Structure 1
Amino acid sequence: MTNSRRGPLLLILFAALMAGAGNGISLVAFPWLVLQRNGSAVDASIVAMAGTLPLLAATLIAGAAVDYLGRRRVSMISDALSALSVAAVPVLALTFGAEAVNVAVLAVLAALGAFFDPAGMTARETMLPEATVRAGWTLDRANSVYEAVFNLAYIVGPGIGGLLIATMGGINTMWVTASAFGLSIAAIAVLQLEGAGVPARDALPERVWAGIVEGLRFVWDTKVLRTLAIVDLAATGLYMPMESVLFPKYFADRDEPAQLGWVLMALSVGGLVGALGYAVSSNYLSRRATMLAAVLTLGGAMTVIAFLPPLPLILALSAVVGLVYGPIAPIYNYVMQTRAPQHLRGRVVGVMGSLAYAAGPLGLVVAGPLADSAGLHVTFLALALPMVLLGVVSIFLPALRELDHPFAP
């Protein structure tokens, strides 16, 4: 009986693990394929930006799709399309030769994968409250484990991705990526959960665009959600180039793909421990203190990394960043799940996710040319110092105090 009650939650967690692993492999494989061709950080930035630029619009659409079409259906369709976008890389290479997989092709495929992924992530996240009730867990515990699984995926994905690139090559690595998405589809295909099917349309606006606007208005009118979205937007824009361009550039110049995988694994190991530990740490630290510690630590760690210290120190700093940032996603999830009504949940998650990605392309546009012209050291500092400033400013944001106010369901 216990296993039956936990079954839906376990299936959602397994699907998140597999889809996240697929995305984690792509995180390493796409920029590596570009850098292997010409070593250009600008071209790597173009592909990385192509993998993030669609996220702003795609996540907005994903939230509406989940509310209008149903969570289970959207999760499966999203993973199927993501699998096709990565499988296209080896298919094109086999059909037309490896030279056909050029920067433009990789940018298009990365953009397609990025456009489809948010729908699956949003669908799985919005199924958590019902699965949590079925399992008899608290929402904090479920969010903590869910985000730990997501971080575990980024341990499995980039780590295996780096090793696969070293043994199989970047192109053949994409077969593994597609297989991971296929396993996610299989898990959701057997899921039976209330609220996961086709939703009732009487609570939804007739036009989808009106529904998206409704979600945007709800986030903007809810002070704590609006503030969290702005802080996350800034932090994502400053951090994303480091993971997507600067680290790949640094290790590609040194011809060390496995070491790149280790750094990304260290980030995820720290995130895994931090997310799992949130259920315990929340008894001793306020949500606001946890968030401020994360932003300030990230800024400090990025500043030290800017001096390109030896690999062991980079690994240690990456693990610390993951550790302090691990609890942030469970906190965000909790706020969205408790503040948004059930019929708006998908769109609120979509709006928050899209705003988090809005600054990413701008950061990538700046980081690539700056790395080629001024070097990695200057580029790291150009991102790290504003992150420190963001942490200081966040201390004085009154809306963040609402993180610790009791929320009505």
Structure 2
Amino acid sequence: MVASADRRPPASEDVVTPSYLPLVLVNLATLFSAIGNGIAIVVLPWLVLERTGRATDAAIVAGAAAIPLLVSSLFSGTFVDKFGRRRTSMISDALSAMSVAAIPIIAATAGLTIPVIAALAALGAVFDPAGMAARESMLPAATRTAKWKLDRTNSVYEANFNVAYLIGPGIGGVLIATIGAVNTLWVTAAGFVFSIVVVAFIRLPGAGVPEHEHRPKSIWHGTLDGLRFVWNNKLLRTLALIDMAVVALYMPVESVVFPVYFTELDQPAQLGSVLMALAIGGIIGSLAYAPLAPIMSRRLIMIFAVAVLGIAMLAMALLPPLWVILVLAGLQGLVYGPVGPIANYAMQTHSPEHMRGRVVGVMTSTAYAAGPLGYLAVGPLLDQLGIASTFVALSIPIILIAAVCASLPVLRELDRPRHSTDVS
């Protein structure tokens, strides 16, 4: 039975005393779950490269994990809006934990092969988007109970997410070097379990099972409603397309290019340190967004972020010393840190409460849509052209995207006041 606090309408925001506990719990659950995923980013490609040493195989496993994300993230928001945010988060993390734990179990019994690793990576990826959409959909309600501004909440949330990807890859790199890649996956499963425990204590308006009249008629119809809503909103549609392009070009760097480079050097700890530098930069950039938002244009921040990301990636084509790579990685995280809070703000202020999960799910799925193509293209590029040329091939289009962003008038909508969801 759902607690009555979960069923109260949004009017319950008019509390006198701010309550920070729900916001803390949402961020803590996100931290634990994302740490698990952060470890997996390092472990899964390393597991493959240990066995075959081929970049194409690592890219196939990364692509196998990315392809289900497209479909599952598309439908995930409808599950959130139909079955409730807290319940969906807990079930999603439970299934993710089981799929990850299956890898060391099979390794100890039947034995691992590349197809098995790819299948289990794909299975685990199916469940993640629903949990992410569920927790992100709780942010506006948690913002109201804390009496914060949405920009401040999104800044902290995205910084917290980057903290997880600072801790996760760092733990992953160290544990691979000490206990091996297979055993490290037990820590990944533990992260999901801790998230479940935290979410069980969250009490927020709208976190329980939605009222009947607000639930989607079916998973299919609800997803179509979400797609239509995002497509008909010019700002959300534009942000989704930009995100698709940037993710397709950038994510293979973290998941394939860097693992291949540091595998050739036999330096797993250095791989972890580069991903940690990205996360540290992202933490600082995300936290800096909250004080910057009231005094700077969100549009200009976003254009600057995409441009510098592409330029820093182009500089990595020189394959400089490790300390230079760390500086460039930190710069990428720093400038791109505000992009997540800006996208969250757009979704929160341009979508109704009862469709929040679907909007988040659809926007997330568009980013994953181009991911498999990026992964599958990067593997052959690396095998035939090498690491330096691959960096060039990925960075130039990102710089061009920044130029396109500067010419889009719709991005000015990011700086027009909207008060329907924000708090004072």
TM-score range, shorter chain: over 0.9
Q: In the alignment, does 2:31 pair up with 1:17?
A: yes
Which consecutive residues of structure 1, in runs of 5 or more, have no partner in the other structure? none
1:243 pairs with one of 232, 250, 254: 254
Q: What is the CA distance between 1:51 and its match in structure 2?
A: 1.5
Partners in 2 of 1:5 and 1:162 — Cα distance? 38
Map 1:60-71 onto structure 2 (within 5 A). Answer: 60-71=74-85
Three-state SS of the structure 2 residue aligned to 1:51 is helix
Cross-structure match for 1:86: 100
Partners in 1 of 2:417 and 2:293 — Cα distance? 14
Q: What is the CA distance between 1:408 and its match in structure 2?
A: 4.3
Partners in 1 of 2:113 and 2:381 — Cα distance? 23
Q: Say if 1:3 and 1:51 are closer, same or farther in 2 by CA, change over 3 A.
A: farther
Q: What is the CA distance between 1:254 and its match in structure 2?
A: 0.7
Cross-structure match for 1:47: 61
CA deviation string 1:169-190 (max 9, x = no partner): 0000001111111100000012
Three-state SS of the structure 1 residue aligned to 2:239 is helix
Partners in 2 of 1:63 and 1:109 — Cα distance? 23
In the alignment, residue 231 of structure 1 is paired with which amino acid?
I
Cross-structure match for 2:338: 327
2:181 pairs with one of 170, 174, 180: 170
Cross-structure match for 2:277: 266
Cross-structure match for 2:6: none
Q: In the alignment, does 2:237 pair up with 1:226?
A: yes
| Cα contact 1:271–1:322 (8 A) shared by 2 | yes
Q: What is the CA distance between 1:283 and its match in structure 2?
A: 2.9
CA deviation string 1:154-208 (max 9, x = no partner): 0000011000000010000001111111100000012121210000121334222
Q: Say if 1:62 and 1:241 are closer, same or farther in 2 by CA, change over 3 A.
A: same
Cross-structure match for 2:323: 312
Partners in 2 of 1:37 and 1:4 — Cα distance? 53
1:77 pairs with one of 75, 82, 91: 91
Cross-structure match for 2:413: 402
In the alignment, residue 55 of structure 1 is paired with which amino acid?
L
Q: In the alignment, does 2:149 pair up with 1:138?
A: yes
In the alignment, residue 46 of structure 1 is paired with which amino acid?
I
Map 1:383-394 onto structure 2 (within 5 A). Answer: 383-394=394-405
Partners in 2 of 1:140 and 1:4 — Cα distance? 17
Three-state SS of the structure 2 residue aligned to 1:54 is helix
Q: Which deviates more, 59-68 or 3-12?
A: 3-12
Q: What is the CA distance between 1:38 and its match in structure 2?
A: 1.3
Cross-structure match for 2:162: 151
In the alignment, residue 69 of structure 2 is paired with which amino acid?
L
| Cα contact 2:42–2:173 (8 A) shared by 1 | yes
| Cα contact 1:148–1:272 (8 A) shared by 2 | yes
Q: In the alignment, does 2:72 pair up with 1:58?
A: yes
Q: Say if 1:224 and 1:4 are closer, same or farther in 2 by CA, change over 3 A.
A: closer
| Cα contact 2:165–2:276 (8 A) shared by 1 | yes
Cross-structure match for 2:377: 366
In the alignment, residue 375 of structure 2 is paired with which amino acid?
L
Partners in 2 of 1:298 and 1:401 — Cα distance? 21
Q: Which deviates more, 266-275 or 277-286?
A: 277-286
In the alignment, residue 236 of structure 1 is paired with which amino acid?
V
Partners in 2 of 1:208 and 1:94 — Cα distance? 38
Q: In the alignment, does 2:389 pair up with 1:378?
A: yes
Partners in 1 of 2:238 and 2:176 — Cα distance? 40
| Cα contact 2:100–2:186 (8 A) shared by 1 | yes
Cross-structure match for 1:211: 222
TM-score (norm 1): 0.97
| Cα contact 1:339–1:408 (8 A) shared by 2 | no
The alignment yields a C-alpha RMSD, in angstroms, of 1.3
TM-score (norm 2): 0.94
2:348 pairs with one of 333, 337, 352: 337
Which consecutive residues of structure 2, in runs of 5 or more, have no partner in the other structure? 1-14
In the alignment, residue 292 of structure 1 is paired with which amino acid?
I
Cross-structure match for 1:298: 309
CA deviation string 1:271-298 (max 9, x = no partner): 0000011111213320001000110001
Q: What is the CA distance between 1:6 and its match in structure 2?
A: 1.1
| Cα contact 2:42–2:272 (8 A) shared by 1 | yes
| Cα contact 2:151–2:293 (8 A) shared by 1 | no
| Cα contact 1:223–1:399 (8 A) shared by 2 | yes
